[in-house]
Structure 1
Amino acid sequence: MFGTSHFDVFRWPRLVNGTLRSALGTFVTSMVMPGLVMYCYGEEQNFYTYDSTANNYLYGRQAMPANQAWKRHDCYQLGSTQYFNMPLGKALIGCKDDWNALDHFDPISPTRRFFAQFNFLCTTYPELQDGFSLTELGNWTIFIERPGAGGVPSQIGLWSISRSAIPNTPIPTQTLNETHSGTVWLFMILNATRTWEFDCDGPEWISSPYQAGTVVRNVLWPYENYTLQESLSPSFNDGNAPYFGCMGNIGMDAYEFKVLILEP
């Protein structure tokens, strides 16, 4: 079971770009990692207030029914002894936001609908729900050291990852019989907007689990298609065609991710 936050000590929407970070984290726990997804109540509503009584326990169990208390509490100014240089955003001005005093049983909250889309994709593509073969095809990343990290580096950039059933070799291990079963190809990126472009004949080509010439579609908005170019890597590992497909270039916004499948 994997989750990204907890209502007692951490909620992403409190931070600068917090809802984007929350969506990316939930993408990882929903689409990338095999297993169960853990949601904490209020994540789907983008709760972000603190109770403003302590800086060593950032309590945020905001009420779902309408009330004035949590609005009055939040214009948080105490900082944090748990998280170094925490980039607080909305939590600094929450007492000026009338939304915090309202009822929060909102079935059409954008984040709730986003999480629902993840769950729908898992029921549509069985490799996302039950595929236990998680393969990193490549990464185009750098390491940075954040202030207060104690010398532990953070890896940021672009990843190419596939999800599928465990291969039936040398003995049958996992079979997905549903209509859409196969391989789903996933991309992730962190905190930069850029276009990634590499020579498909070079060593840094953006690899895919599909053959060259294949058209793949992003099943998340804006539902764009890509035609995979030919690489120098034989898909049957025999030195001959057909070759694995290569993504010649791809543009990604900050904290964006894609789920790519074979075009039906």
Structure 2
Amino acid sequence: MRSNLFSLEKMDGQERLREALEMRGFLVEKDGPFLALTSGSSKADLVDVKRLLNSLNIPIFWNDDRFQLLTNKFPVIMMKKITAYRGEEFPVSMEGYHFRWRAFVNRKHGLKVDALKLDPYISSFVKAVNQAGIPCLAGCDGHLKFAPNLQFSGVYSGAWFQVIKEQYLNDLELNYTWKVEYRGGSGSKLVACKGGDERWDTHKIYGDTLKMAYKLKDYADEIKSRKACSFKRNVQMKEEAEFYRVNGRFEELSEWMAKVSE
């Protein structure tokens, strides 16, 4: 997690507000004296930011789509109210083309998922995966009952994330083991794994997802560029990829992607 008590003490109110919104899954950037949502945001995110800030009675000045905190201080308790703001359930659906090689290759960017439709302790991670150009449909923080997970769009997205995870995220000290699994309606998902007698811990889940989210955001442009330069719609590459997918040889698919993208 980027923030700690020392760094928070050095932040002014506007910086704390930006940090809290980013932790809740909104993609926020500085725009002069204002804050603004980045291009990776969904259409609903701007409406939801306004609704969220208004519901918490946070004093904000709006200048079109940009906003500014009208106080120099922003207490940690208000940051926690933003980061823990409850998500809303929504249906996740996929079309058959999501599983095709052509769809994987053609998509240069991730999906624009509404931040407030995601669970609070995994929303930033879902947004970061999409920001890195890997289509991620949704995420669940498990509600301390089930394993936290992310749902990728098709098998190829999951296999590509496995490559990215091994090359960019394996040096992170995480509380749980996160593995890509290839089953379920979306084709692939990332799942947190714990010991048999261990209980799920919100702080540990949040710590893991934020560490991975921040790392992916730092390398998002590089990851998108690697994908665009490595995978093509030519017949030979399509046949190789489809061979692994159709025969359920997903680990080999990921290994093949790693070699192609070297």
Q: Tell me if both proteins adopt one fold, taking TM over 0.5 as the criterion.
A: no
User: Which range, TM-score by smaller chain?
Assistant: under 0.3
Say which one has the larger Rg: 1
- Bigger strand share: 1
